[in-house]
Amino acid sequence: MAAPDQRGDGGEPRSLDDWLRPLFSDSILWPVLAVAAIVFVTLGASLLLFALVERHLFALIGLAIASFVSCDYMLRSLLMGHFGLAPRALLCLCVLSIAAAIFAHKSGAF
């Protein structure tokens, strides 16, 4: 069983790190984390492939928006001096999406 949070304000999550922490710390939620990661990596890889290989207009717009939001969030976290759980998870999802897109393109699946 996971240890209770030590927030001191009634236990309400205040940041994205607080919302994501149980997924990483409670072993019973690891399958949920794995499925969510697979879904988001597949979504990111397909967005990359449609935008960069197929040159689909809406995929290019979606990639631009997703890249801007992700980079903005990670830069703000770095500038605040707290590169916590959420930015690291987002960075891992981006790297895994790029790797999956390269693998799908090189293997001829797309």
Q: What is the pTM of this model?
A: 0.82
State whether the Cα torsion 97-99-105-107 is positive or negative: negative
Q: Label residue 11 by pLDDT band (50, 70, 90).
A: confident
Cβ neighbors of 62 (< 8 A, separation 6 or more) are 47, 51
pLDDT of residue 12: 80
**Alpha helices by DSSP H, 8-84:** 16-25, 30-52, 57-79
In Å, what is the CA distance from 60 to each residue of 63, 66, 72, 105, 106? Answer: 5, 10, 18, 17, 21
pLDDT of residue 83: 87
pLDDT of residue 69: 95
Decide which of 41 and 6 is more confident.
41
